[in-house]
Amino acid sequence: MCLGQTVETLGQGNVKNISVTASSNSSNGIRTLLRDGYLPNHNAASRFLSQATLGPKFAEIEEVTNQGIEAWLNSQLALPNSFSIENYIRSISQSIADSLNRTPQTTPYTVQNLNLSDWYFDVAWFQGSMTSPDRLRWRVALALSEIFVTSRNSDFDGNPYALASYYDVLLDHSFGNYRDLLESITYHPTMAVYLTFMNNHAQATVNGNLIFPDENYAREIMQLFSIGLYELNNDGTEKKDVNGNSIPTYNNNDIAELAKVFTGFSWHNAEYLGDRNENELDYTYPLKFFPIDSSDAIRRPWKSNPDITNGHQPGGKTFLGTTIGQGRTAEQGELDVQDALNVIFNHPNVGPFISRRLIQRLVTSNPSAAYINRVATIFNNNGNGVRGDLKAVVKGILLDPDARECCKGDEPYKGKLKEPFIRYMNLVNGLNLTSTTGVFRNRMNEVYDKMEQRPMESPTVFNFFQPDYIPDGDLKKAGKYAPEFQLLNSITLTGYLNALDEWLIDNDPIDYSSYFSGETVKDAQEPEFDFTADYLLAGNKNLPQLLDKYNMILAHGGISETNFNHIKKAIESMPDIYDADGDFNETNAERRIRLTIFLMMATPDYLINR
């Protein structure tokens, strides 16, 4: 080797001082030296889909392999929302009412008076997730549901419409604008009940006591839904004051002032603030605004105090360094809401705050500052002067070099522990659970009971796990976040393995329920896994092909050689698919396939999505 000789690597993202001219005169010639300039192989396609869907299907892996990641993304981003959870529950309700009314009833059953339980939401959610073509939307909506949290663990009286209508908002806005999403959840009764600003009224004196507006939503919309606790640089790192301390984004005065904005809201069918003509569908309508809290001693003697005159707090409100509503009357209160949401939306923290949380939910628990900065820059301006474009943000997250460079998956602490619920969806999608009728009835009880996670069932507004959670051990020593590990313990890990045994070995992957007492069971709506197409791969001769197939579908080729060989050896120790007489044994083939998948999904290689 000559002294002074240096080695320069071209490609794999190394394009400094390089220009490439394409024969088509396209400016994209440089992509020939970048990873995104090539069609992915099957494992790379599976890895991408593990971030962009609720679990890759083999047909999707083939599709992405053939057309490329960006083309698939563009086609998904162009798809409209194809499923309404609320409407599906309404259709179930109507079918129940029709069935029950075949025998004359004193009071006929209607969609409004059936008093359905919240598990009808689970059935409708699973139906939509298994049948909707807009698979990216469902993945992003789940991520949003873990940021803008509401939960059935609240005073919803088990009403499935409270969950369904709210989740439909997340589906509708997954590729929309963050500002519109923020407004929609603010006007949603599910959020108003969950964070207790339903019937919130202006500051008043009652029986000599000064009563202030409820501050719950005002606090959480800042802390959890938009700007966080401390001022951020665009790359997500915290700004520091001259003494090296983090700088709070807001204080108690900001919360108290913002709380005045979210006053005067009640149910859509209320006649006055605090009234409710209750029925199951109340949660499906936006909040109604009551600026004046006109007292009525007969209907509401506790509100007969003459000091209570306003539903909405009139006048100015100062928070986050801005004053809004100066000189406004209570009747102009909805202008306060618009102004307040605009102040929050335009805060410089929102881009890095929301970007980091979405990256964590889709790609990696520890995004680099550069990754956050690139995505936050897209949030701030999608390239066309639009702020808050979630479609551009999602695309930026999934196409970013930090997401797509598979070689980075070998670096320490890259990727994320698969959420328990994602593991379940990975199973039913990867194994192509199919209903001959196109209908799936799944309460997903086993998922929640064994692993403590199911959509819209977070124990608190802080989600199932917190974005800054650091478990003990090597991760703590390295100062690395691992949110999903907050759900991992001896109970949930053992529960996961027991659930896998039920789903795979016992071939019982869904929790079927009849809709009403006495309904005829419909076996076709309780699908099982069908492995007949893989039987010939289960023999010792073809076993590596079977392992390769499910390694690619479930773990995008991530099962290590050591674990791959351990699994292979374990399966080879089982009776082969041909008996001593040379006859094919279907039972042996079935057992081998199911145990192969069980062992793969139990490996750390599968559980950590790199």
Q: Give residue-wise pLDDT tens across range 380-433.
A: 999 999 999 999 999 999 999 999 986 544 577 889 999 999 999 999 999 999
What pLDDT does residue 23 have? 60
What pLDDT does residue 263 have? 96
Angstrom distances, CA of residue 51 to CA of 139, 142, 265, 290, 467: 8, 12, 38, 44, 17
| pLDDT range class, residue 18, cuts 50, 70, 90 | confident
Q: pLDDT tens-digit profile of 59-118?
A: 999 999 999 999 999 999 999 999 999 999 999 999 999 988 887 777 888 888 898 999
Rounded-to-integer distance, Cα 360 and Cα 249, Å: 22
Lowest mean pLDDT among 83-87, 188-192, 301-305: 301-305
What pLDDT does residue 587 have? 96
**Residue 206, strand partner residues:** 209
Q: pLDDT tens-digit profile of 256-293?
A: 999 999 999 999 999 888 888 888 899 999 999 999 86
Judge whether 88 and 127 are in contact, CB under 8 Å: yes
pLDDT at 300 over 50: no
pLDDT at 598 over 80: yes
pLDDT at 2 over 60: no
* Domain ranges (residues) in the chain: 1-37, 39-77, 85-176+418-457+489-523, 199-345, 350-404, 533-609
What is the overall mean pLDDT for the chain? 91
What pLDDT does residue 406 have? 63
Q: pLDDT tens-digit profile of 224-266?
A: 999 999 999 999 999 999 999 999 999 999 999 999 999 999 9
Rounded-to-integer distance, Cα 598 and Cα 502, Å: 10
Coil, strand or helix: which one is 230? strand
pLDDT at 13 over 60: no
The mean pLDDT of 32-38, rounded to a whole number, is: 56
Rounded-to-integer distance, Cα 260 and Cα 203, Å: 8
pLDDT at 303 over 50: no
| Residue 295 φ/ψ, nearest 5 degrees | -70, 145
Judge whether 105 and 147 are in contact, CB under 8 Å: no
What pLDDT does residue 526 have? 86
Lowest mean pLDDT among 218-222, 500-504, 512-516, 575-579: 512-516
Judge whether 448 and 457 are in contact, CB under 8 Å: yes
Look at 42 and 211; give whichever has higher pLDDT: 42
What pLDDT does residue 572 have? 97
The mean pLDDT of 166-187, rounded to a whole number, is: 98
Q: Is residue 554 classed exposed, middle or buried when 0-12, 13-18 and 19+ CB atoms within 10 A define those classes?
A: buried
What pLDDT does residue 28 have? 60
What pLDDT does residue 298 have? 38
The mean pLDDT of 186-208, rounded to a whole number, is: 92
What pLDDT does residue 304 have? 45
pLDDT at 7 over 80: no
The residue behind tokens 């003990």 is: 472
Q: pLDDT tens-digit profile of 144-173?
A: 999 999 999 988 989 999 999 999 999 999
Rounded-to-integer distance, Cα 401 and Cα 356, Å: 15
What pLDDT does residue 31 have? 57
The mean pLDDT of 547-564, rounded to a whole number, is: 96
